[in-house]
Amino acid sequence: MTDISNHTIEANGIRQHYMEAGRGAPVVLLHGFPFTNFTWRHQIPELAKRYRVIAPDMRGYGETDKPVAGYDKRNMAKDLRELMRKLDIEKIALVGHDRGARVATRFAKDYPDATDRLVVIDNVPTRIIARDFNFSRMAKTYWLFLFHLKLDLPEIFISGREEQWLRHLFSEWCYNPHAISGPAFETYVAAYRSPGAVRGALADYRANADDLAQDLADADVKIACPTLSIWGAEFDGVGKAFDMPAIWAEMASDLSTFAVPRCGHVPQEEHPDLTNNLLLEFLDGWAGERPRQSN
């Protein structure tokens, strides 16, 4: 049985919660919206057999602080970089899903020397969505990008209805609408009934304008490290709406891709065994930062 420990540490001015398991080269897992680090419950035990796995709750989510500001992806990437400094980690393999993939992409661009390899799961980069947005084709999924931008009103509608809100999202996003059910579903409901949880998650979206500006500023800079893009073949908002190999070829110079069949937006929960195999294959050879030579 994998020994998974929970920790909190002050980094980049906020109290960050993270789970940790295993030993070896560090692998960081960043969840998306509206998830928490609980989404990696199927991956952590398997990855921890070979690696030191660290799964934070990102700013605004789970048990991590939910400040009013600081949700642009450059600052959220800095959250991770400062967490790494506190843990004395210089270089990582990085996996991000959904919003976590946006943070991971920004991290790989801002801290290339700290990123050995990158996995992005079911994510279309911010600037690509802005460039290629087609309302009639994408409204079914991307309505929340607009709804969440409105201050206060979404919180009014969601407060007290967290269960119905999450049930709608998970059922619409998953190929099997019951993929996230039972105790797992209740865990997410409990997380979003905590004070500030809905506001914190929506603040992630409310930084979209800043995120877009950051992405446009270095749009010509490709991610240099090996990159794997994974997505659900049946999700209307990603695999069915975009040419994912072409999009990620714009973003990364050393790219592999994989469309998970019969899968929606959440491969790590819908097809955990296949996702684990893809991650382990891609991570193979990651041995950690080499010790620095002394003069």
In three-state secondary structure terms, 54 is strand
Where b means 16+ CB within 10 Å and e means fewer, 124-136 reads bbbbbbeeeeeee
Residue 271 catalytic?
A: no
**Tokens 């919660």 label which residue?**
17
Q: Which of 17, 31, 265, 271 is catalytic?
A: 265
CB-based contact 15:64 (threshold 8 Å): yes
CB-based contact 202:148 (threshold 8 Å): yes
Q: How far apart are CA 177 and CA 166, in angstroms?
A: 12
Residue 265 catalytic?
A: yes
Nearest Cα residue to 34 out of 180, 230, 211? 180
Q: Which of 98, 116, 204, 211 is catalytic?
A: 98
Cis-peptide, bond into residue 245, ω within 30° of zero: no
CB-based contact 17:33 (threshold 8 Å): no
- Helix (H) or strand (E) segment spanning residue 255: strand 255-260
Residues with catalytic roles: 98, 265
